[in-house]
C-alpha cells in the first residue's frame, strides 16, 4: 500500500458550535473547541469522519451496485455496532483497520470575534414564555451568516493511484452531501456553504528510494549526521544504534489497561509512547519484498519513548522502587531521599519505617523524579469526549445493552514543548545492508509518520547518530564490560520498562506471599543467566495485563481467563554470582541484557503451541506483545543511584532488623 494525503476545506455559515469541555467565565455555559494556540476555533476530526460515514452509508443504501458496502468498510473500518457486541466472534478482532486517518482538529482559517455571545432559550409550552432558568449562553466568535472555513487533512493507505482518484471523487461527493457541521446543526448552526477536496501529495512508491533488490546503487541521499561508516574490523556484521527524537504534531493517547464496557468509558493514557507503536509506524512502509532489507524488520528493537524538555539529550530513568524517604511527616524542604537497593535486610531509617512509592505524596515524587531526570513540569493533559450520533434521530445513539448513550472520554497528552526520546537498535547488520538501511530510515523519517495511538496522531521523527541513553544511569556504560569488578560484588538490575518475567500459570496469594514471589523471580533470573546468578533480594511491583481481547484473540475457545502478570518499571533486582560462575561469563550475561533486554518469560502459550509453558514465547511477536523488540524488558545495569554516596543511608540513621 502507498500513503496519500487529501486536503479538505469546509466553508460554513456561522454560528458554528463544537463545544469544549473547558469552563468559561461566570455566565458562559459553553465555549467553542479551540486549537492548541487557544485562539482559533476547531472541529473534531472524529465528527468529520462520522459525517463522511453517514453520507457514504446513504450512498450504499441508495445504489449498492456503484457504491458497495465493502468499499466503506475498507476506507473507514467495520460497522462500530459490531465491536460493541459482548459475544462477537473471534474473527471480529482480525478485521482490517480503517485505511483513512483524520486530523484530530480541523482548524478555522480566521479568528472571528472572540468573546461574541449567542443565546438560546427554552419555551414553556404551557405559557408560551421562557421556561424558568432555561437560558443557555454560548461563546460564538463567528456571527450568523458570517463565513468561516475549516481545513484538515485525511491520510490514506491505498493500493494505487487509481484507488486514490476514486477516493477523491467520493470525498467530493460526500462533502457536497453534508449539510451542516458542529453542534446544534439541526437548528441551522454550522450550515455548509461549500466544500473542496484535493490530493495533497502522491508518493513515489511503497518505500521511497529503496527498490527491490537494493544494492549500493540504490543508496540515495543520507543526511551528513547519519552518514555513519561501517565499524572498522574484520567482522561481517555490526550493531546499529540510533536515537529517535519525536515531536508529536497532535495530541496523543495510549490507553492504560482497564475495564471495558459501560463502567470503563474513560480511556486514561500512559505518559510514554510504546516502542511497539513506533515500530508499527516504520513497519507500515518497510519494503517487505526487498530481499536485502526485509529480514531486518523483525529483529529491529525500539525502546519506549519518554517525554523530556526540548533540548534534553537523554531519556529519564525509571524511578527505582528501592528509593525511600527518611521522614514521612517532614516538610518538603527537609525530605531526604535514600536508595536502599544494597541493604540486604529490612530496617528502619532514622528510627521510622522507610516511606516507599505506595506511600509517596507529590513532594516525594517531585524530588525523586528530579533526580532521575524527568521534566520539571509534567506533560499537560486534555480530555476529549466522543459519542456516536444516530443518523435517524441526529442525537446521541442509545445502546440498549448498556442502557446508556454511546459516549466515552479520551484523556490525551498535549505535547507543547515536550519531546519524546527513544533508541533504535539492530543487533546484526551486514556490510551490504548498512548504507541501504541508513538511507531507508532517513527517507522513512523525512516526512511525518502516522497514525500513532488512539488519536491517530502524526509525529515528526528526527534520527540521531548516537543513542539517547538514560539520564542519571549513563555512568555505567563506559565500564559495563568490566562490571562487576569481582565475583562477590552485588549486581543491581533496574527495570526501565515493564516485562513479562513471572512464569506462565504462576499463582500468588493476594497478600503475605513474598516468599513465593521471591522464589519465582529467583528461578527466572537463574535460568536467564544460564545458572550464573542468584537473586539476593528485590523491590518490585506487578500489574495484571489482558482481558476479553486477550482471551478471545489468543486463547480462542478456552474458558479460563488468562491475564499476564507484568513486572512494572522501576523494579530493582539485586543479584550475586553463583558458586563456580566465572567473572567473564557473568559480564557477558550482563552485556547481553543491557543490549537486548530481558526476554518475555511469562507469556501464555499461543493456540496450538506444543512447547511447555515454562519455555515462554520470547520471540513470537504474533502472540506475545511484551517482547524486547517492542520496547519491553529494557534494563539499566548498575544504575548510578545504587552507588551515589549522597543517596546511601548513613550508618547512624540505618538500623537493620537483622543486625
How many angstroms separate the CA atoms of 426 and 240, rounded?
5
Tell me how far CA of residue 114 lies from CA of 9, 101, 106, 117, 140, in angstroms: 22, 30, 18, 9, 7
Lowest mean pLDDT of 334-338, 375-379, 476-480, name the range.
476-480
pLDDT confidence of 213, banded at 50, 70, 90?
very low
How many angstroms separate the CA atoms of 445 and 462, rounded?
7
Span 325-363, pLDDT tens digits: 986 444 545 788 999 999 988 889 888 889 999 999 999
Place of cell 543486625: 659
pLDDT confidence of 495, banded at 50, 70, 90?
very high
Span 122-146, pLDDT tens digits: 887 888 887 777 888 888 888 888 9
How many angstroms separate the CA atoms of 336 and 4, rounded?
55
* Percentages (nearest 5) of helix, strand, coil residues in the chain: 25, 30, 45
Q: For residue 484, what is the enclosing H or E element?
A: none
Q: Compute CA 514 distance to the chain's CA centroid, rounded to the nearest angstrom.
A: 32
Whether 53 and 397 have beta carbons less than 8 Å apart is answered as no
Indicate if the pLDDT at residue 218 is higher than 50. Answer: no
Q: For residue 600, what is the enclosing H or E element?
A: none
Q: What is the largest CA-CA distance in the chain?
A: 95
Task: Check residue 560 and give its pLDDT.
Answer: 58
Task: Check residue 617 and give its pLDDT.
Answer: 39
Query: Which among 110, 98, 419, 380 has a CA at the least distance from the CA of 249?
Result: 419
DSSP type of residue 581: -
DSSP type of residue 590: H
Quote the cell numbers at residue 23.
Answer: 469552563
Indicate if the pLDDT at residue 241 is higher than 70. Answer: yes
Q: Stretch 15-29: mean pLDDT, rounded?
A: 78
Whether 193 and 147 have beta carbons less than 8 Å apart is answered as yes
Task: Check residue 590 and give its pLDDT.
Answer: 93
3-class SS string, 202-240: CCCCCCCCCCCCCCHHHCCCCCHHHCCCCCCCCCCEEEE
Whether 258 and 478 have beta carbons less than 8 Å apart is answered as no
How many angstroms separate the CA atoms of 641 and 643, rounded?
5
How many angstroms separate the CA atoms of 422 and 196, rounded?
39
Quote the cell numbers at residue 499.
Answer: 516485562
Indicate if the pLDDT at residue 640 is higher than 70. Answer: yes
Lowest mean pLDDT of 66-80, 105-119, 133-147, name the range.
66-80
Residue 304's contacts (CB-CB under 8 Å, 6 or more residues apart) are 272, 273, 274, 275, 422, 496, 497, 631, 634
Q: Compute CA 609 distance to the chain's CA centroid, rounded to the nearest angstrom.
A: 29
Indicate if the pLDDT at residue 295 is higher than 90. Answer: yes
Task: Check residue 331 and give its pLDDT.
Answer: 52
How many angstroms separate the CA atoms of 225 and 228, rounded?
7
Task: Check residue 439 and give its pLDDT.
Answer: 92
Enumerate domains of the chain plus CATH numbers. Answer: 2-201 (no CATH), 234-316+380-464 (3.30.70), 323-372 (no CATH), 479-638 (3.30.70)
Q: What are phi and psi of 413, to 5 degrees?
A: -95, 125
Provide the mean pLDDT of the chain.
82
pLDDT confidence of 219, banded at 50, 70, 90?
very low
Task: Check residue 80 and give its pLDDT.
Answer: 64
How many angstroms separate the CA atoms of 173 and 241, rounded?
48
Quote the cell numbers at residue 334.
Answer: 527537609
Task: Check residue 258 and give its pLDDT.
Answer: 61
Residue 311's contacts (CB-CB under 8 Å, 6 or more residues apart) are none
Task: Check residue 214 and give its pLDDT.
Answer: 44
How many angstroms separate the CA atoms of 387 and 376, rounded?
35
Query: Which among 530, 515, 516, 528 has a CA at the least distance from the CA of 602?
Result: 528
- Written as one string, the DSSP assignment of 606-654 is PTT--S-GGG--TT-TTT-S-SGGGTTT-EEES-GGGG-GGGSPPTTTE
Span 519-564, pLDDT tens digits: 999 999 999 999 999 999 999 999 888 755 555 554 454 555 667 8
pLDDT confidence of 613, banded at 50, 70, 90?
very low
- DSSP bridge partners of 423: 243
How many Cα atoms sit within 13 Å of 618 on the Cβ side? 14
pLDDT confidence of 612, banded at 50, 70, 90?
very low
Residue 481 CB: number of other CB atoms within 10 A?
12
Q: Stretch 477-498: mean pLDDT, rounded?
A: 83
Query: Which among 545, 547, 556 has a CA at the least distance from the CA of 632?
Result: 545
Exposed, middle or buried by CB within 10 Å (0-12, 13-18, 19+), for 199?
middle
3-class SS string, 334-387: HCCEEECCCCCCCEEECCECCECHHHCCHHHHHHHHHHCCCCCCCCCEEEEEEE
Whether 476 and 638 have beta carbons less than 8 Å apart is answered as yes
Amino acid at each position: 500500500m502507498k500513503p496519500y494525503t487529501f486536503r479538505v476545506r469546509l466553508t460554513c455559515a456561522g454560528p458554528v458550535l463544537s463545544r469544549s469541555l473547558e469552563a468559561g467565565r461566570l455566565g458562559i455555559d459553553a465555549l467553542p473547541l479551540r486549537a492548541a494556540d487557544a485562539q482559533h476555533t476547531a472541529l473534531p476530526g472524529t465528527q468529520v469522519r462520522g459525517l463522511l460515514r453517514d453520507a457514504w452509508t446513504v450512498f450504499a443504501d441508495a445504489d449498492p451496485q456503484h457504491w458497495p458496502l465493502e468499499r466503506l468498510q475498507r476506507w473507514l473500518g467495520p460497522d462500530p455496532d459490531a465491536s460493541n457486541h459482548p459475544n462477537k466472534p473471534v474473527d471480529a478482532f482480525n478485521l482490517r483497520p480503517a485505511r483513512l486517518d483524520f486530523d484530530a482538529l480541523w482548524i478555522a482559517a480566521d479568528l472571528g470575534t472572540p468573546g461574541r455571545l449567542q443565546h438560546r432559550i427554552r419555551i414553556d409550552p404551557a405559557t408560551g414564555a421562557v421556561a424558568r432558568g432555561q437560558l443557555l449562553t454560548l461563546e460564538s466568535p463567528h456571527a450568523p451568516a458570517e463565513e468561516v472555513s475549516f481545513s484538515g487533512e485525511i491520510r490514506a493507505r491505498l493500493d494505487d493511484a487509481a484507488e486514490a482518484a476514486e477516493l477523491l471523487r467520493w470525498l467530493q461527493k460526500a462533502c457536497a452531501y453534508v449539510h451542516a457541521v458542529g453542534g446544534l446543526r439541526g437548528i441551522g448552526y454550522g450550515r455548509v456553504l461549500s466544500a473542496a477536496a484535493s490530493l495533497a501529495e502522491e508518493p513515489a512508491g511503497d518505500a521511497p528510494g529503496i527498490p527491490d533488490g537494493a544494492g549500493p546503487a540504490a543508496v540515495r541521499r543520507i543526511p551528513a549526521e547519519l552518514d555513519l561508516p561501517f565499524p572498522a574490523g574484520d567482522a561481517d556484521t555490526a550493531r546499529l544504534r540510533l536515537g529517535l527524537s519525536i515531536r508529536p504534531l497532535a495530541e496523543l493517547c495510549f490507553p492504560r489497561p482497564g475495564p471495558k464496557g459501560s463502567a470503563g468509558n474513560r480511556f486514561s493514557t500512559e505518559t510514554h509512547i510504546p516502542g511497539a507503536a513506533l515500530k508499527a509506524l516504520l513497519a507500515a512502509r518497510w519494503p517487505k519484498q526487498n530481499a536485502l532489507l526485509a529480514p531486518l524488520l523483525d529483529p529491529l528493537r525500539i525502546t519506549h519513548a519518554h517525554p523530556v524538555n526540548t533540548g534534553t539529550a537523554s531519556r529519564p530513568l525509571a524511578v527505582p522502587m528501592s528509593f525511600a524517604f527518611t521522614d514521612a511527616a517532614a516538610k518538603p524542604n527537609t525530605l531526604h531521599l535514600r536508595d536502599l537497593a544494597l541493604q540486604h535486610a529490612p530496617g528502619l531509617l532514622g528510627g521510622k519505617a522507610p516511606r516507599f512509592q505506595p506511600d509517596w505524596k507529590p513532594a516525594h515524587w517531585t524530588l525523586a523524579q528530579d533526580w532521575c531526570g524527568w521534566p520539571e513540569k509534567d506533560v499537560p493533559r486534555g480530555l476529549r469526549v466522543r459519542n456516536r450520533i444516530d443518523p435517524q434521530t441526529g442525537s446521541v445513539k442509545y445502546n440498549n445493552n448498556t442502557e446508556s448513550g454511546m459516549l466515552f472520554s479520551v484523556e490525551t497528552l498535549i505535547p507543547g514543548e515536550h519531546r519524546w526520546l527513544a533508541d533504535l537498535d539492530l543487533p546484526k547488520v551486514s556490510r551490504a545492508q548498512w548504507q541501504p538501511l541508513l538511507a531507508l530510515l532517513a527517507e522513512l523519517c523525512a516526512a511525518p509518520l502516522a497514525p500513532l495511538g488512539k488519536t491517530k496522531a502524526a509525529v515528526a521523527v528526527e534520527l540521531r547518530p548516537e543513542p539517547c541513553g538514560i539520564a542519571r544511569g549513563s555512568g555505567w556504560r563506559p565500564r559495563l564490560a568490566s562490571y562487576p569488578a569481582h565475583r562477590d560484588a552485588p549486581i543491581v538490575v533496574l527495570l526501565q520498562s515493564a516485562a513479562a518475567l513471572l512464569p506462565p500459570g504462576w499463582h500468588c496469594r493476594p497478600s503475605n506471599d513474598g516468599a513465593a514471589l521471591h522464589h519465582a523471580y529467583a528461578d527466572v533470573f537463574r535460568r536467564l543467566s544460564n545458572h550464573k546468578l542468584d537473586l539476593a533480594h528485590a523491590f518490585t511491583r506487578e500489574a495484571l495485563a489482558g482481558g476479553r481481547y486477550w482471551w478471545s484473540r489468543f486463547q480462542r475457545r478456552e474458558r479460563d481467563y488468562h491475564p499476564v502478570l507484568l513486572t512494572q518499571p522501576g523494579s530493582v533486582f539485586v543479584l550475586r554470582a553463583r558458586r563456580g560462575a566465572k567473572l567473564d561469563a557473568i559480564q557477558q550475561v550482563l552485556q547481553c541484557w543491557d543490549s537486548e533486554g530481558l526476554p518475555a518469560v511469562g507469556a501464555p502459550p499461543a493456540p496450538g503451541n506444543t512447547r511447555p509453558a515454562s519455555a515462554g514465547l520470547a520471540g513470537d511477536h504474533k502472540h506475545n506483545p511484551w517482547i524486547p523488540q517492542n520496547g519491553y524488558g529494557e534494563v539499566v545495569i548498575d544504575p548510578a543511584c545504587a552507588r551515589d554516596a549522597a543517596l546511601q543511608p548513613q550508618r547512624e540513621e540505618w538500623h537493620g532488623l537483622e543486625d
